[in-house]
Structure 1
Amino acid sequence: MSSENERPEQGPTGGAGEQLALIRETVRKAEEPRAKPRSWRAAKLASGLPVARVLVDKGLIHLDQFFDYSVPEPMDEQAQPGVRVRVRFGARVVRGRREGGELHDGFVVARLPESDYRGPLAPLAQVLSPEPVLGPELLRLCRAVADRYAGALADVVQLAVPPRHARAESRAVPQAPAPPAKPDPGSWARYATGPGFLDALATGANPRAVWTALPGPHWPDELARALAATLASGRGALAVLPDGRAVARVDAALTALLGEGHHVVLTADSGPEERYRRWLAVNRGAVRGVIGTRAAMFAPVADLGLVALWDDGDSSHAEPHAPQPHARDVLLLRATDEQAAFLLGGLSVTAEGAQLVDSRWALPLTAPREQVRAAAPLVRTVGDGDQARDAAARAARLPSLAWQVTRDALLRGPVLVQVPRRGYVPRLACERCREPARCARCAGPLELAESGALHCAWCGRPEAAWHCRECAGTRLRAQVVGARRTADELGRAFPKVPVRTSGRDAVLARVPDQPALVICTPGAEPVADGGYAAALLLDGWALLNRPDLRAGEEALRRWLTAAALVRPAAEGGTVVVLAEPGLRPVQALVRWDPAGYAVRELAERAELGFPPVSRMASVTGTAAAVSDLLENAQLPDDTDRLGPVPVPVAPPGRPRRMADPPPGERWERMLLRVPPGSGGSLATALKTAQVARMARKHFEPVRVRMDPPDIG
């Protein structure tokens, strides 16, 4: 009988005749003799190139290879290199014939006259789409990324090629617009080599630069002009930015410069179908300009002339899915393989950017010091020892200097307040002995809600009668004050001034040029029309004291991002940072010298053998699994082993993160460090050892990550 959704709709008189006809048709089909399935050998194959080499979409490290399939004659025309197909994988040989197997998607990577495999080949089951989406350049890039990160090619292809939407493929291909005219330098004239860099792009050259952008609102227009200059040469251009707000600013600048039709935006906000439609326009060569977030680093831009990355220190550029590539490394591979220009820009400079300049692979693109002084705000510091407070400043939890700067700046425009932590009071401690306050159930940190109630940040359990386990004290003090508590305190201190908040729950894009207090967490700073009159950077110690190799670099990057939104010092713009004045990141902010800080940071890392001077890999799993992998890995002779150390177990109630071991298991981590030039050998050795473990039926998981960004 038919299923319910196959029955015809009944009319108002009942429809009994229609049901009887449906039953007779079902019986007739059941009595018809069934055709025997043809064997795979019986299928007529395509002439000329009867073999398709296929990348099967199974991201297993021990299956990281191509597989050959026969091409039936009806699929000969459509089964071209780059198209999506469906194949049977895992078939068995029975009486000389391959039978069974599960259906999997894949990509044809080549058509061959014959196969190296001498047994019977399974035929392609289906051509899902005749659209070639995995071209040779994109396949070569994916292979290079997989090799660099000791990953599987299928995993990288999943990141590079978006899911298919048939309706998007059926739309007509627009005609590519003519190359635009070369743009004028605009604000690039403030940089000594800026106009020359644009000229080189417009004439078809491939310059490579690490760009330290001046503070202020001009960087989106400057990046747009670099893209426009490349498009004027008849080549393609690609820019990757950390978030949708930055993409929107560059998109608006490029549209104002060139008009519609010269570029597309690739972000998740546009939706799967619309994003695939735009990706197809790029893949078909109808559009040569691309602006997007992390996933756009693989965009198949035709005749690529420039790859640009903005703010490479932002953690959003690190892909969380296997094999976890970083956008900076992917674009470096593209620039080298496709002979394209390279632009690494930002308000700050990472140690990786300083290394590119130090090795002379790229040249610095900076402004003279007089231009920096003209564009930067005045930066003032307040150390931990400055406790001078008046009554109003005490209510706002601010030193007198910060209070005075805020009060004066609110007469001229909005004031930005950057708070390192979200929430109300996310960290509490005993007032008497300073012992952190923790949950009696799961040992998670206690936090204070706006209602005044205590609860655990991990399991959510309320804590009605807390007492300190060390000294039996019952009074608490705030270790860290969150953004919402700061907004309450400043609102009481300045009762006539509106208070706006921007954070994870709701991120503001822009604020008007009117007096207001804008409280935000790092990375959620909205742009103020006309710039902020002042900025307060609170609790600098919370950023500087993080147990991370990049703590100082990250603190300076976040401070510069906020301070760059403030008006120049000549217009009264002032930044107050609450951190110890003698610390190197604080001094770099005062002098507005991110490049100098990055150079010193690189020199120290070179002396200690830390990345990016060295290459590192982390191997994480149970002690037995890690030991088994390393014992069978042919590591380079100059490999330095650091560890092992235990991996912290996720406490009960806290959401499990990707790096946490499974519940009930104890994992450890080993760091492997090699000098420059041995990173490729290290990645190959670890990948080969993973394949060997799988071949020996050792399925206990071991996580291998190249160049982990979170080295403590």
Structure 2
Amino acid sequence: MPLAHLDRPFDYLVPQELAAEALPGVRVKVRFAGQLVSGWLLERAERSDHPRLAYLEKVVSPVPVLAPEVARLARAVADRYAGSLADVLRLAVPPRHARVEKEITAQAAPDEATPAPSPEAAPAPSPEAASTPSPEATPEPRPIARPGSDGVPEPGGWRDYPAGPALLRALAAGRVPRAVWSALPGEDWAARYADAVAATVAAGRGALVVVADGRDLDRLDAALTAALGPGRHVCLSAALGPARRYRAFLTARRADAPVVIGTRAAMFAPVARLGLVGIWDDGDDLHAEPRAPYPHAREVLLTRAQLEQAATLVGGYARTAEAQLLVETGWAREVVADRAVLRARTPAVAPAGDDPQLARDPAAATARLPSLAWTAAREALRADLPVLVQVPRRGYLPSVACAECRAPARCPHCAGPLALPSAGGAPGCRWCARVAAAYACPHCGGRRLRASVVGARRTAEELGRAFPGVPVRTSGREEVLAEVPGGAGLVIATPGAEPVASGGYGAVLLLDTWALLTRADLRAGEEALRRWSAAAALARPAAAGGRVVVVADGGLAPVQALLRWDAPWFAARELAERRELGFPPAVRMASVTGPPTAVADLLAQARLPDEAELLGPVPADGERERMLVRVPRARAAVLAEALHEAAAVRSARKAPDPVRLEIDPLAMF
């Protein structure tokens, strides 16, 4: 049950007529507190310590959708995040789709008419049987990392990284390497993951790779299809829809495909003989689950690798402090390129803050396109190369102010920020969507508005006028482009929506960097570097004319890391600062949010460890407040257990005000 004080298994008697279908992993219906509720059958036992038991009411479906290893993982994740097993299982197993289930069961019925022998009783296949697949067998893999004459996978693109070939050899040999990979600019990261997956499959084991969004999933899907052939992997994503998602889930559960890839929804996917877990761009906030108990895909996969003795590959153009901690503690090895290879692959990166023309013309310092960026764009377009412009805000003018007194323009009804949707549109509220056509400044009475923040569509409009005759494309929330042609053109994109250009971009301009750097967030610098690196990685190498201009002060640490393309240096610096300040991942932090009386009540009930530090309270939203609890990493399990027990006490008392518990939340301020 999702209530904290009922977060434990309950025993039921199995009636004789349901004994054949009541197998571990099936969905069931039981009577609980007088009501018929849904549940999972976790285990069958000969006896129980409870003297009086109710009977199992119904087996919803005879298909065992909850794998034993996934059940163990769900329990571990619930304990890690001070949550309940029921909430984790809700994330782990998609809702049942009866029609799909019947179709797959009907297709498999002829093959399952004769019960399969147990693994212990099954004889080893003969060499002839192993070399002669049946006509119905799944096609043999066609890996990108092709085996050499000695049976060792060819390193392919991993050759650019000194530790890369050893990583593939270890995977092909069935060992359990753990790697944190810093990808080179222009790297076909999907093909490198396909190499690693193909080596794992060649060793007779399965693989699971999680990416942040649908675009990355499509790219990895294409790479794996080329590597393994069709039908050897399945894609799991909440965007697939109920039927397709459940069909892919059952395919994985039945071990019909050895590889599962997907977005956050795939982190609990069942994979037979799991040999590799991977995650790309683990710093993306899309990897954080917004539903209780708020697990992060990276932490779930690391827990899974530990429980199932699987290899691990954490990759990205940038590196998070959490990934750096894995390297510094010796849990994983870093896979990075030599400086010589790095210099040959990186574009020429320059900060506009060091532009000498800015010193001669102070007014140019406030321009959104300094002369260095302007020159880089013009030269790339003259060379018939595309130009990428990254703007951190979408829309036209997402924030406006009074042109007379510069006071921020606010909605007269809800005090939300006003925005302009287009050049001739009326200002509207971003909170309540009401139009403020007759807006008048409450401070000075002025009716004219000026831009406070410029969005991607306004930037596209300005650059279109600046470079007449050049096609301008936008990529953002309304329409995200996957690819653009390689000729001259301007691409205006928000972070995360940058399309890939054929042959690479001639210039990449990173504008309005202050919007990322000045956020009130512990991860502001890390997030800025991650966004910039993802865009800069799409540029051509410097030898081929690729340039990146970042409109920021060159002395800032994230800008320095971008200039040198040295994400490991910045991650080590970030981790050292967090150790000094006492922030995750150097420590374990819990966030307790709710009404003040409810927060105080929960913390009073919690048997916190002696090392625990209480920080706060601070205002959260509305009438709620937030308290932070900090403990050393060695006491993380004790903290989670104490908070879960305190939540159980409150739920048993039927306390009226809910409290939100988060362990190591992404946002703490």
Common fold: TM-score over 0.5: yes
Between the aligned partners of 1:633 and 1:413, the Cα distance in structure 2 is 61
Unaligned runs of 5+ in 1: 1-57, 91-100, 650-665
Give per-residue Cα distances to partners, 1:225-279, cap 9 Å, x unaligned. Answer: 0111111100011110001111111111121122112211112343322222221
Task: Quote the residue 1:153 is aligned against.
Answer: 85
Task: Quote the residue 1:97 is aligned against.
Answer: none
Task: Quote the residue 1:237 is aligned against.
Answer: 207
Task: Quote the residue 2:20 is aligned against.
Answer: 77
Task: Quote the residue 1:133 is aligned against.
Answer: 65
Measured after TM superposition, the shift of residue 320 of structure 1 is 0.9
Between the aligned partners of 2:255 and 2:535, the Cα distance in structure 1 is 38
Task: Quote the residue 1:409 is aligned against.
Answer: 380
Residue 51 of structure 2 aligns to which amino acid in structure 1? R
Task: Quote the residue 1:270 is aligned against.
Answer: 240
Give per-residue Cα distances to partners, 1:350-372, cap 9 Å, x unaligned. Answer: 00011000101001100001111
Measured after TM superposition, the shift of residue 129 of structure 1 is 1.1
Measured after TM superposition, the shift of residue 164 of structure 1 is 1.6
Measured after TM superposition, the shift of residue 337 of structure 1 is 0.7
Between the aligned partners of 2:655 and 2:365, the Cα distance in structure 1 is 62
Query: Would you say the 8 A contact 2:368–2:512 is kept in 1?
Result: no
Query: Would you say the 8 A contact 2:420–2:428 is kept in 1?
Result: yes
1:220 counterpart (190, 193, 199): 190
Give per-residue Cα distances to partners, 1:295-316, cap 9 Å, x unaligned. Answer: 1111111111110010000011
Measured after TM superposition, the shift of residue 461 of structure 1 is 2.6
Residue 457 of structure 2 aligns to which amino acid in structure 1? R
Query: Would you say the 8 A contact 2:183–2:189 is kept in 1?
Result: yes
Query: Would you say the 8 A contact 2:3–2:651 is kept in 1?
Result: no
Task: Quote the residue 1:192 is aligned against.
Answer: 162
Between the aligned partners of 2:359 and 2:421, the Cα distance in structure 1 is 29
- Mapping of residues 507-656 of structure 1, within 5 Å: 507-649=480-622
Task: Quote the residue 1:299 is aligned against.
Answer: 269
Task: Quote the residue 1:337 is aligned against.
Answer: 307
Query: Would you say the 8 A contact 2:505–2:546 is kept in 1?
Result: yes
Give per-residue Cα distances to partners, 1:500-555, cap 9 Å, x unaligned. Answer: 11111111111111211111110111111111111111100011000000000000
Task: Quote the residue 2:99 is aligned against.
Answer: 167
Task: Quote the residue 1:210 is aligned against.
Answer: 180
Measured after TM superposition, the shift of residue 117 of structure 1 is 1.6
Between the aligned partners of 1:335 and 1:397, the Cα distance in structure 2 is 46
Query: Would you say the 8 A contact 1:289–1:301 is kept in 2?
Result: yes
Q: Helix, strand or coil: the match of 2:592?
A: strand
Residue 410 of structure 1 aligns to which amino acid in structure 2? L
Query: Would you say the 8 A contact 1:147–1:683 is kept in 2?
Result: yes
Residue 462 of structure 1 aligns to which amino acid in structure 2? V
Change (3 A) 1:179 1:235: farther
Between the aligned partners of 2:438 and 2:98, the Cα distance in structure 1 is 60
Measured after TM superposition, the shift of residue 462 of structure 1 is 2.7
Residue 210 of structure 1 aligns to which amino acid in structure 2? V
Task: Quote the residue 1:63 is aligned against.
Answer: 6
Query: Would you say the 8 A contact 2:141–2:227 is kept in 1?
Result: no
Q: Give yes or no for the alignment of 1:680 onto 2:637.
A: yes
- Mapping of residues 379-528 of structure 1, within 5 Å: 379-383=349-353, 387=358, 397-411=368-382, 412-431=384-403, 433-450=405-422, 451-470=424-443, 473-528=446-501
1:348 counterpart (313, 318, 327): 318
Q: Helix, strand or coil: the match of 1:112?
A: coil
Between the aligned partners of 2:359 and 2:544, the Cα distance in structure 1 is 27
Query: Would you say the 8 A contact 2:141–2:228 is kept in 1?
Result: no
Between the aligned partners of 2:367 and 2:649, the Cα distance in structure 1 is 62
Query: Would you say the 8 A contact 2:593–2:659 is kept in 1?
Result: yes
Task: Quote the residue 1:89 is aligned against.
Answer: 32
Residue 371 of structure 2 aligns to which amino acid in structure 1? S
Between the aligned partners of 1:544 and 1:213, the Cα distance in structure 2 is 23
Query: Would you say the 8 A contact 2:395–2:456 is kept in 1?
Result: yes
Task: Quote the residue 1:377 is aligned against.
Answer: 347
Measured after TM superposition, the shift of residue 59 of structure 1 is 1.9
Change (3 A) 1:142 1:395: closer
Give per-residue Cα distances to partners, 1:276-303, cap 9 Å, x unaligned. Answer: 2221121112211111111111111111
Task: Quote the residue 2:217 is aligned against.
Answer: 247
Q: Give yes or no for the alignment of 1:102 onto 2:35.
A: yes
Change (3 A) 1:453 1:250: same
Residue 31 of structure 2 aligns to which amino acid in structure 1? R
Q: Give yes or no for the alignment of 1:708 onto 2:665.
A: yes
Query: Would you say the 8 A contact 1:395–1:493 is kept in 2?
Result: no
Change (3 A) 1:389 1:559: farther
Q: Helix, strand or coil: the match of 2:616?
A: strand
Change (3 A) 1:672 1:331: same
Change (3 A) 1:452 1:76: closer
Task: Quote the residue 1:10 is aligned against.
Answer: none
Measured after TM superposition, the shift of residue 428 of structure 1 is 1.9
Task: Quote the residue 1:320 is aligned against.
Answer: 290
Between the aligned partners of 2:321 and 2:612, the Cα distance in structure 1 is 22
Number of residue pairs matched by the alignment = 626
Between the aligned partners of 2:359 and 2:624, the Cα distance in structure 1 is 49
Residue 636 of structure 2 aligns to which amino acid in structure 1? G
Residue 332 of structure 1 aligns to which amino acid in structure 2? L
Query: Would you say the 8 A contact 2:484–2:502 is kept in 1?
Result: yes
Between the aligned partners of 1:506 and 1:179, the Cα distance in structure 2 is 35
Q: Helix, strand or coil: the match of 1:285?
A: coil
Measured after TM superposition, the shift of residue 472 of structure 1 is 5.0
Q: Helix, strand or coil: the match of 1:276?
A: helix
Residue 392 of structure 2 aligns to which amino acid in structure 1? P
Q: Which structure has more RCO (C-alpha within 8 Å, separation ≥ 6)?
A: 2
| Structure with the greater alpha carbon radius of gyration | 1
Change (3 A) 1:230 1:419: same
Task: Quote the residue 1:122 is aligned against.
Answer: 54
Give per-residue Cα distances to partners, 1:389-436, cap 9 Å, x unaligned. Answer: 99xx99995212211111111122211111000111111234455432
Query: Would you say the 8 A contact 1:210–1:345 is kept in 2?
Result: yes
Q: Helix, strand or coil: the match of 1:406?
A: helix
Residue 650 of structure 2 aligns to which amino acid in structure 1? R
Residue 368 of structure 1 aligns to which amino acid in structure 2? D
Measured after TM superposition, the shift of residue 470 of structure 1 is 4.4
Change (3 A) 1:389 1:397: farther
Between the aligned partners of 1:309 and 1:415, the Cα distance in structure 2 is 29
Change (3 A) 1:128 1:440: same
Measured after TM superposition, the shift of residue 698 of structure 1 is 1.5
Query: Would you say the 8 A contact 1:179–1:233 is kept in 2?
Result: no
Query: Would you say the 8 A contact 1:176–1:285 is kept in 2?
Result: no
Query: Would you say the 8 A contact 1:397–1:489 is kept in 2?
Result: no
Between the aligned partners of 2:388 and 2:366, the Cα distance in structure 1 is 18
Of stretches 422-431 and 334-343 in structure 1, the one that deviates more from structure 2 is 422-431
Change (3 A) 1:175 1:325: farther
Between the aligned partners of 2:140 and 2:427, the Cα distance in structure 1 is 63
Between the aligned partners of 1:569 and 1:247, the Cα distance in structure 2 is 29
TM-score of the two chains, using structure 2 as the length reference = 0.90
Between the aligned partners of 1:463 and 1:270, the Cα distance in structure 2 is 39
